Amino acid sequence: MTKPNLKILLCAPRGFCAGVDRAIQIVDLALERFGAPVYVRHEIVHNKYVVEELRRKGAVFVEELDEIPDTRQPVIFSAHGVAKAVPAAATARNFFQLDATCPLVTKVHREAEVHHRKGRHVILIGHAGHPEVIGTMGQLPEGAVTLIETIDDVARLDFAPGTPLAYTTQTTLSVDDTRAIVEALSQRFPDVAPPHKEDICYATTNRQAAVREVAPKVDAMLVVGAPNSSNSQRLREVAAREGCARAVLIQRASDIDWSELQGLSTLGITAGASAPEVLVEEVIDAFAERYTVTVESVRTADETVAFNLPRELRDDPAA
């Protein structure tokens, strides 16, 4: 039986960003250098496949430090960053700490601290309950940060006249949504201080740009990523906003609902920043079983960013 033809437009860049790659390397190298177990507070990145692979190697994932027994083994903080109280509590228990926080998240933390030292109240644009948001708010004293999620939230802000203000953002937001919120914020508070440099990270921006290019050209768009991954959810939203009627987030090939993907001639595929390429290949293979597939890469940016590992894991700590 002849299989129907399917053209797959593969978004590039996609998948792992430099911060995710660094975080996973930190866990892998810690296991290699210090042996199992290695304790990781929260999922190192938001991807079940990655977490399960590291768990198989000997990583133990916990939500809070009190789940960790007294140990000399490494305790690793996830790529999303943590509130200041977390490393303080780890120090109090004499844990050997390795910080896998993405350097671009750390940049947001430092900017928030600078604004606070200058007497500004910080407005954080982000998603309530996300680990990155919890970590950023936890850099400053309680009440020093106000979280907003939508344009409607801007209208509800109530500061005394003359209050010095600044804003910062979660690194994995929708570029378009955030731009609209910032415009509304700047209109209401013309003197609000912006970030020194854009807070939404290069990887989020690049992946959304690739989806924006591909989405109008395909019958459906699959985003490979986890449901609790902010950047993956934003990719799905961008695809839908750009006119792709079937934009679906899946964790891997086994999640594909084939009944929703009937009659395809073109398909877009991308992956969130914490999704490994092996899962993208798995999805392509699943379609190749049902279609005669041709794959075309659509590249909108080249990425050359790389981040240093913690000193404790470098071959030459002095480097």
Annotated catalytic residues are 132
Q: Where would I find the H helices in 102-174? A: 103-117, 131-137, 151-156
On the CB side of 53, how many CA atoms lie within 13 Å of its CA?
A: 15
CB contact at 8 A, 101 and 80: yes
Do residues 231 and 175 lie in contact, with contact meaning Cβ atoms separated by under 8 Å?
no
d(CA 204, CA 90): 31
What long-range pairs does 55-62 form, CB within 8 A, spacing at least 24? 57/28, 57/31, 58/31, 59/27, 59/31
- Contact residues for 221 (Cβ-Cβ < 8 A; gap 6+): 211, 214, 215, 236, 239, 244, 246, 247, 248, 267, 268, 269, 270
Q: Work out the number of other CB atoms within 10 angstroms of the CB of residue 258.
A: 9
- List the beta strands (DSSP E) in 163-244: 165-169, 220-224
Q: Tell me how far apart the alpha carbons of residues 111 and 167 are, in angstroms, rounded to a whole number.
A: 10
Written as six digits, the tokens of 65 are: 């430090």
Q: Identify whether the C-beta of residue 174 lies closer than 8 Å to the C-beta of residue 156.
A: no
CA 232 centroid distance within chain: 8
**What does residue 306 show for φ and ψ, rounded to 5 degrees?**
-145, 145
